[in-house]
Copies of this chain bind each other. A is one copy, B any other.
Amino acid sequence: MARLNYSPRSSARALASSRSNVLGLVVPLRPDVNVGVVMQFVTAVVTTARTFNQDVLLLTQDDPGSIERVTSQSMVDGLLMMDIEARDPRIPVLARLQKPAVLIGMPDEPRGLSCVDFDFSGASRLAVRHLWDLGHRSIAFIGSPPASLKRHATYADRALQGFTDAAASLGAASRSVACEADSPQLAKSLDAVFSGKNPATALVVHNEALLPMLREELSLRGLAIPGDISVVVIAPADVAKAAARPWTAVSIPAMDIGRSAVEMVMDRLSRDKPAELRLIAPSLTLGETTAEAP
């Protein structure tokens, strides 16, 4: 084979074995998502897929039709779907198709599909707990853009929910704002959380796009990090570490999630394991942006 420089033809192999060695990855491109984070997931999926000798077909239209097309033509052995909404209309379609599929996200009703996601709710709780332990009693949450919350993207909903719950159960004062990724909006959000008679002394920020601007906006207000205000971000580790002074962060482990997702489809393919739900546990990395409450 080496001498003749032979390599098998995938189509013939697929026809005979009825396996394409291709996974479909559904990545809807909504304007409100953070492309950097999405790309990390995509990369993780493609890289892991290769270790299982699978390639990745990229589907960007969230039109359920394209899911049906690639499955009915047997182009893919399994499907991965990103950016899941609480009651995602694609889920019933997928569930009917009888193809191994994994959702990256946690919908209200998985309908027998496998799901994997970061425990965003736990991430928020961890962040709040850390700030509480440092003595902060008024904590604010700066979250995903309004559009993400409006369509109930599961990461946005759950991070916010976890924050609200944690603050309530600890008895901390709390407020939350949804924030677009530009500095006027950030300024408005900060105005909101620092107003009133019980201004926040700490922030939990779940919005990667705001990080480049946050430090400046705070210093414009005469607020030093972490002297006057502590900040915990929920973001990929490299984003958190890339800053001049690293953020204290609950890292979104995109690589782990992507890898899990692929492993789960492959499990269902080869050993047809039943559907499972996996939540990846959060962990907090200390940076230079949190300190005792003033």
Q: Chain A interface (Cβ within 8 Å of chain B)?
A: 7-12, 14-15, 18, 20, 22, 25, 29, 35-36, 38-39, 42-43, 46-47, 50, 55-61, 66, 69-70, 72-75, 181-184, 209, 212-213, 215-217, 220, 242-244
Rounded to whole Å, the gap between the CB of A126 and the closest CB of chain B is: 26
Q: In the complex the two chains form, is A29's CB within 8 Å of B39's CB?
A: yes
Report how far A75 CA is from B183 CA in the complex, Å: 46
Q: A47 to B58, alpha carbons, bound, how many Å?
A: 11
**A20 engages B11 (CB within 8 Å):** yes
Q: Give the CA-CA distance A25 to B55 in the complex, in Å.
A: 12
Are B61 and A58 in contact (CB-based, < 8 A)? Answer: no
Q: Are A47 and B22 in contact (CB under 8 A)?
A: no
CA distance A42 to B212 in the complex (A): 25
Sample of 7 further A-B pairs with CB below 8 A, known A46-B59, A55-B58: A10-B73, A11-B18, A42-B60, A43-B60, A183-B215, A209-B212, A216-B216
Known A-B contacts A35-B36, A212-B213, A213-B216; the reply to A182 vs B60 at CB < 8 A is no
Alpha-carbon distance A128/B11, docked complex (angstroms) = 52
**Complex Cα distance A47/B66, Å?**
12
B contact residues around A220 at 8 Å (CB): 216
- 5 closest A-B pairs by CB: A11-B14, A11-B15, A7-B72, A10-B73, A58-B58
